[in-house]
Amino acid sequence: MGTERRRGDRVTFERGIPAHMMGIDGTWRRDCMMADVSETGAKLTVEGSVEGLALKEFFLLLSSTGLAYRRCELAWVNGDQIGVNFLKQGDKKKKPARRSSQAVDV
């Protein structure tokens, strides 16, 4: 086995948990199986090719209704398996400018 790069406890699923990957802009979607998961990321087996997909950032949908999801960034690719890091709410996104020196309301 390779060097363990992930922090946090890992939960491994014997058969995998069905999930879906979806582009941030909603233009693509792939079925996948979640092989394992930790607080910081997951290992996924993707059905179909991941070539050409915008995998820098995407959503991992954990329920059929889409209510349980995590925003992810790609960590590594090995054949049909990929590793993803979960992004926390403030990561890689601009936070709303609430404390601005300019008055917004008149």
pLDDT digits (tens, 9 = 90+) for 38-79: 999 999 999 887 777 878 899 999 887 768 899 999 999 998
**CA–CA separation, 32 vs 99, rounded Å?**
41
42-62-17-75 Cα dihedral, nearest 10 degrees: -20
Residues 24/30, Cβ–Cβ less than 8 Å: no
75-77-80-82 Cα dihedral, nearest 10 degrees: -10
Better-scored residue on pLDDT, 6 or 63:
63
Residue 102 reports pLDDT greater than 60: no
What is the average pLDDT value for the chain, to the nearest integer?
A: 81
Residue 1 reports pLDDT greater than 60: no
For residue 37, the model assigns a pLDDT of: 94
Better-scored residue on pLDDT, 6 or 55:
55
For residue 64, the model assigns a pLDDT of: 74
For residue 42, the model assigns a pLDDT of: 96
Two structure tokens written together for 44 = 């996924």
